[in-house]
Structure 1
């Protein structure tokens, strides 16, 4: 059962907000490391197991470096994410490069790095060849099962998704690349996002295992690894049950022995691309109350806005809120918790029961360690918040400074320099 706790005592967290300007993000190093090690242990039976951390979830080199030390790779979908990975000590086949509508320079950089290139479309074969003037020795394809599977609210119905090669195309993709001289192959899919039902992940493994057998029979290609993608969710709401990853691992192991071993495809390496479940529960957005107002509803106005955490506005997502120092008080007031953007959906919570809140109170938005700071933006010229790391020794270090006005205008050209035509 999910229980929402703070990474520091209320007293220490309040002291921290006296020293550091709010809003800011705080990540718990010890919890991230312990969680990463547990994830590795759960799937230690799987040949070649590795989690390629989804850089998009938390693109900070300090976090990436911590995970690299735990044996993680990185899942990248852009050139800057590749370069961030390189800066964090993650290179070569420890990078899984999956993008869509991919520009040529990103194929080139991924190839230069020796990353695994995961093609999203059958037409990308030609596009990659034009960019590289050759083909890599290892290639992977992203598979979209279409009507054979159902997605969830976040990732959508596979039939409607822009990602992946279809069931009718997938064998031909491997046959074509084999004829072009590719020697090593991977198979990838991503059909869930923030999923808590572990059977969905197990059935994804079944789908990929059976597809490996089909590709071997029809194209004469032996798949070296399957990439399960990410999609493992976290219990954002108190009382929600986390996914039973031990049961997922056991279910996948049983299917491996039932499908892969008899087909003579053992060993088949198994990898994931999880981001949210690795860092999500261990990041916190810390903010102070600027105003408490009463209109047709009761409003709490924070110094953070949806440019700091847009998931509630974008998805209607729930993030638990702790009023620091008032944890024991009754949640007998109903508030909309808002930011200061000129948009009425700039709300972290609607009709949320909370203790009585006063100006200057400190609020913590939980489970912000993935797709939090990473999804920030500068609408209304709002500046991005700083990020801090709570080290295992109890110290707090800055891992990204707050954005300044000079940062915001750095790319502007006030002189209007003409472009030569």
Structure 2
């Protein structure tokens, strides 16, 4: 039995349901590989975050970290739910604008924002620029002067807290490419530089300690650290922070052994930690911002594949190959991420074997799972990999000149393509013939 699939996700035919749609039918209608999102699950998680803030009676912003999955349709859903977004590139900003998303409800992150990106942000009235380094302060000042504009900013702090997570997705430790260091005095110097600018309004401070975090202690630690910094800034510089932004990184369940708290439980602990820390200061209660990405998009996403070839070797685990792989989900190859996969036509079928679930790409490392328990399968069967909504399509590539899959949103029994499947023509439309001699 797969514990991640509830009884109401299985229809009368015994098939997996996604957003009220039969997964087998979705694969037949749209082809595979296919990325499918259960839109109601996205909405429910955003609302769960909002409820925990309302219950604790604090001013707040839930800002979807769109690097997890950015698309016009995703921004539309987030906007419908009254949430904000954070963007980390001109491309994400442009997509949000195409979606009609109000950039006044957007924060702009990044450790090397370009001149053109900052111009785009300021011209489109970005809500907040999260300033990451001294070069950026100077560059943003230049842009603001040229455009005769003003902007709200936060300073990103490196809090010196290492989350218990994969080393490639830790961002809060001192030795990080992100943010202003506290111990060396960089953060204080940055505050003074921003306060000296008549075109920047400093609204608060930000930190992000990593991703896929299961323990609440790190978040409580960063909450306490940010309040301590805000208290120091008020006493030393007369600056009162209106916002404390603790970032995101709330872990989700990918496989049976993962036992994270519900994402909103992390937030409840953060709120209580900030309230307690603030009570011992003269700061007053600041607004609390969070930036969840994975916890909103991840559990809502499914990758559907069609089984193809099989390789059996005496004494070794068999390879079962599907028509996707590292091109649509590079996380297993990149940092050994694990997922669970089920048979879409019978997700609770008795498990018969443990196999390597292999992709079709020309790399030995293109293995979606090194040890996947499956029922008996045959070519043409549809497999569904669970919880793929974050950093799957967002990191997809055209490696081996394979087209990226379509993305479908499913809600209340209705399905719709929100990103078209790439064609071979799409793969070459930027190519130009060489005319050299």
TM over 0.5: yes
Offset of 1:186 from its aligned partner?
1.9
Offset of 1:135 from its aligned partner?
7.0
Note the aligned Cα RMSD (angstroms). 2.1
Contact map agreement 1:196 1:242 (CA 8 A) in 2: yes
1:31 aligns to 2:44 (yes or no):
no
Change (3 A) 1:417 1:234: farther
Aligned to 2:29: 19
Change (3 A) 1:22 1:206: same
Taking the TM superposition and a 5 Å limit, the aligned residue runs for 1:8-407 are: 9=11, 10-11=14-15, 12-44=22-54, 45=56, 47-115=58-126, 116-133=128-145, 136-146=150-160, 149-150=162-163, 152-153=165-166, 154-156=168-170, 158-167=173-182, 168-181=185-198, 182-295=200-313, 296-392=316-412, 394-407=413-426
Q: Residues 96-130 of structure 1: CA distance to partner in whole angstroms, max 9, x if unpaired? A: 00111221001111111221111111222112223
Contact map agreement 2:404 2:422 (CA 8 A) in 1: yes
1:408 pairs with one of 422, 427, 430: 427
Q: Could you tell me the TM-score, scaled by structure 2's length?
A: 0.89
The answer for unaligned runs of 5 or more in structure 1 is none
Q: Distance in 1 between matches of 2:63 and 2:115?
A: 23
Instruction: Could you list the structure 1 runs, at least 4 aligned residues long, displaced by more than 6 angstroms after superposition.
Output: none
Contact map agreement 2:151 2:201 (CA 8 A) in 1: yes
The answer for unaligned runs of 5 or more in structure 2 is 16-21
1:4 aligns to 2:4 (yes or no):
yes
Contact map agreement 1:287 1:303 (CA 8 A) in 2: yes
Contact map agreement 1:285 1:365 (CA 8 A) in 2: yes
Offset of 1:29 from its aligned partner?
1.2
Offset of 1:255 from its aligned partner?
2.8
Contact map agreement 1:342 1:380 (CA 8 A) in 2: yes
Query: SS where residue 372 of structure 2 aligns?
Result: strand
